[in-house]
Amino acid sequence: MSSADHAELALTLEVASTPKPGNVDRHRDHDDLRFEQFLAGAVGSRPGLELAAGDAGLGDAFERAVRGMSQQSGGNTQFGCLLLLVPLVRAAATDRLSPDGLRDVTGATTVDDAAAFYRAFEYVDVAVDDPPDEAPDLDVRRGADAVPALRDRGLTLADVMEMSADHDANAAEWTGGFGRVFDAADRVLDDDGPVTDRLARAFLDLLAERPDTLVAIDHGTDRARAVSREADAVRGDLDAAETLADRFLDEGINPGTTADLTAATAFVALERGVPV
């Protein structure tokens, strides 16, 4: 399989893995998001993933992937997943799938890549924190309207990620060589059983290790820390995680950033030979 094949498969394996407490999976839908919409989003993202495997700008590949992903009725299914997968696909396609290789890939991004990243926010609604007080003109929710400010400041996509890395787990992966993703992929490779079970356990590990960005945005940092403690209490026990999954769903707790990291973990594990 090509790196684009593995990325599309990673998106489908992530949503098929269960239980992942609070997330849509093959056994659970949200009121406004359904399992089938994630499958459609994965398929729709394919042209952008193919661009990522080629020589297109990373920003253009990401924007195209998001545009394709958005062509289903649920809205934002995999924006954060694609933000992680696009540089991973580029790294894999150019034999640089390692922390140092990812630093090279993300470090080579341009202002044009940042502009395409901002334009991608026009396709779906994405939950984000407010911009820094000193840079309200860089609010990603402004979409293309923020591009002149990006150009005036000469900010690359790597620069934009650096601005959020201290409070956004996906941005931290971008700026840190995807360390958490590679560690989680190693655990998946060392695990046994169906890949979807391995990924469900990896999700619990990731959520237990660090509070989820989306939960913190939606419910505050204290609740996000409590969610991590609850995940830690059922770590490795998928039967116990089933009960937690039902409760999180009832409470509207959605650790979506941890799902993003799980999709990226699935990709690295596939590239490194996990059997499917």
Q: Where are the beta strands (DSSP E) in 14-154?
A: none
Torsion angle, alpha carbons of 227, 232, 235, 237, to 10? -70
**What pLDDT does residue 136 have?**
84
CA distances (Å), origin 64, targets 56, 69, 198: 11, 9, 30
Q: Which domains does the chain have, with CATH numbers?
A: 3-271 (1.10.4200.10)
Cα 241 from Cα 237, distance rounded (Å): 6
Sign of CA dihedral 160, 162, 168, 173: positive
Please state, in angstroms and rounded to a whole number, the distance separating the CA atoms of residues 236 and 202.
9
pLDDT at 132 (0 to 100): 73
pLDDT computed for residue 135 by the predictor: 74
Angle between helices 58-69 and 35-44 (to 10 degrees): 140
Long-range interactions of 204-210: CB distance < 8 A, separation 24+? 204/20, 204/21, 204/231, 204/234, 204/235, 204/236, 204/241, 205/235, 206/180, 206/258, 206/261, 206/262, 206/265, 207/21, 207/231, 207/255, 207/258, 208/232, 208/235, 209/180, 210/169, 210/180
d(CA 251, CA 253): 6
* Residues 267 and 85 sit within 8 Å (Cβ to Cβ): yes
pLDDT at residue number 256:
97
Taking only the tens of pLDDT, the chain with its 276 residues reads: 999 999 999 999 999 999 999 999 999 999 999 999 999 999 999 999 999 999 999 999 999 999 999 999 999 999 999 999 999 999 999 999 999 999 999 999 999 999 999 999 999 999 888 877 777 888 998 999 999 999 999 999 999 999 999 999 999 999 999 999 999 999 999 999 999 999 999 999 999 999 999 999 999 999 999 999 999 999 999 999 999 999 999 999 999 999 999 999 999 999 999 999
Helix (H), strand (E) counts: the chain? 16, 0
Residue of 41, 35, 60 lying closest to 50 (CA atoms): 60
Q: Give dist(CA 244, CA 28) in Å, integer.
A: 13
Spatial separation of the C-alpha atoms in residues 197 and 270, rounded to whole Å: 14
Nearest to 89 by CA among 271, 241, 211, 214: 271
Q: Which residues contact 134 (CB under 8 A, 6 or more apart)?
A: none
What sign for the dihedral angle of Cα 268, 93, 167, 68? negative
Q: Which residues contact 174 (CB under 8 A, 6 or more apart)?
A: 83, 84, 87, 106, 158, 161, 165
**First vs last C-alpha separation in the chain:** 12
